[in-house]
């Protein structure tokens, strides 16, 4: 598992992904140990087969029977290791698929949250723009005495619209970033 991208820590299911990655690492370490043992076992089998050939060439049967028994035992162990290696590779692949699914799920959750934030900010802009228009209308029609109060209200409402527009821009940036990460990870688009 070589994903070390910082966005993974921002996913809502980051802990589950870390747990799966830890399981993958455990399986990979076990696989490495078994592969080392497997290589040593193959080398031992080759050495024993060489001994059998030398016994055949010498015409000597002394030690041949023991060597044949040892070869049979090691062959059985080799077959067991082969199946264990295959099982570990399968488990690693399955865990990697689960990690991919969790990353997709986390990105979709972030996407939907950013989309919801964007929609909410757009609604707030409409609401606050209406408030700006109302306060501007009151400002234009107010007496000199009420003018400062209406002006302050108009400024506050304009400030709200500006903040809402910043929220829209931030949400759009988040959506763009999420889409970019998704495309990089999975060569797809979330739209």
- Integer angstrom CA distances of residue 2 from 55, 87, 186: 50, 21, 15
Largest CA distance in the chain: 124
- Least confident residue range of 14-18, 106-110, 181-185: 181-185
pLDDT per residue as tens digits for the range 138-186: 888 888 888 888 899 999 999 999 999 999 999 999 999 999 988 888 8
Rounded average pLDDT over 48-57: 80
Percentage of the chain beyond pLDDT 70 is: 92
Specify the pLDDT at position 99: 94
> Could you tell me the two tokens for 17?
């992904």
Chain mean pLDDT for the chain? 90
Supply the pLDDT for residue 2. Answer: 45
Q: Provide, for the chain, the percentages of residues in helix, strand and coil under a 3-state DSSP scheme, each rounded to the nearest 5.
A: 90, 0, 10
């Amino acid at each position: 598992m070589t994903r070390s991208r910082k966005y993974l820590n921002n996913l809502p299911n980051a802990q589950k992904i870390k747990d799966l990655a830890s399981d993958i690492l455990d399986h990979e370490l076990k696989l490495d140990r078994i592969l080392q043992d497997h290589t040593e076992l193959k080398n031992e089998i080759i050495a024993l087969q060489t001994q059998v050939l030398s016994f055949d060439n010498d015409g000597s049967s002394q030690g041949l029977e023991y060597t044949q028994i040892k070869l049979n035992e090691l062959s059985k162990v080799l077959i067991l290791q082969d199946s264990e290696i295959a099982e570990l590779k399968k488990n690693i692949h399955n865990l990697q698929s689960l990690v991919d699914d969790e990353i997709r799920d986390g990105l979709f959750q972030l996407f939907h949250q950013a989309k919801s934030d964007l929609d909410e900010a757009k609604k707030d802009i409409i609401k606050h723009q209406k408030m700006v228009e109302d306060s501007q209308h009151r400002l234009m029609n107010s007496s000199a005495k009420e003018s400062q109060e209406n002006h302050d209200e108009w400024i506050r409402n304009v400030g709200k619209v500006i903040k809402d527009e910043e929220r829209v821009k931030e949400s759009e940036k988040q959506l763009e970033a999420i889409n970019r990460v998704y495309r990089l990870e999975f060569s797809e688009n979330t739209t």
